[in-house]
Amino acid sequence: MMVSFQEKIYLLLGQIPNGRVSTYKILAKAAGRPRAWRVVGGILNKNKNLVKTPCHRIIKSDGSVGGYARGARKKENLLTKEGIKIKSGKVIDFTKILYKFYK
DNA sequence: GGTCTGACAGCGT
DNA sequence: CACGCTGCCAGAC
């Protein structure tokens, strides 16, 4: 059965535990297209499943919070509420809370 | 059908 | 350390 990328992305996003984050690149790789991080961003931008899709848990590879359809500031706020510390628009020790989808 | 866009990543300056 | 340019790929027009 053929599944669109965005479907996979949504599925993967649902696997991210609370208090954890992931990057566009990791997500793209987990979806089967290691070079499609840009696509991931585009999908999240237009995502309709806000509730099932914690897009605020997706950050950039360098630890930057990145963008958010509702405003980057809102995103930072949400992440902070989940216990994730942010400094100057960047996640502190994001590597420690990174969810790589590895078993 | 082709063409343009984008919530990025990687490397150079 | 900060900013800029290039490359990549599915989706929207």
Q: Is the CB of A17 under 7 A from strand C?
A: no
User: Does the pLDDT at position A103 exceed 60?
Assistant: no
pLDDT of residue A47: 79
Q: Which nt sits closest to A23, CA to C1'?
A: B8
Tokens of A26: 């990791």
* Mean pLDDT for the stretch of residues A50-55: 82
- Nearest Cα neighbor of A36 from A4, A78, A80, A71 is A4
**Protein-contacted positions of strand B (CB under 7 Å):** 5-10
Residue pair A20/A98 in contact (Cβ under 8 Å)? The answer is: yes
Residue A51 has pLDDT above 80, yes or no: no
Q: Residue range A57-84: average pLDDT?
A: 93
Beta-carbon contacts of residue A26 (< 8 Å; ≥ 6 apart): A98, A99, A100, A101
Nearest to A52 by CA among A6, A97, A103, A95: A6
pTM for this prediction: 0.93
What is the structure's pLDDT at A18? 92
What pLDDT does residue A21 have? 95
Q: Band the pLDDT of A94: cuts 50, 70, 90.
A: very high
Average pLDDT value over all residues in chain A:
91
How do beta strands A86-87 and A22-23 pair? unpaired
Residue A30 pLDDT greater than 90, yes or no: yes
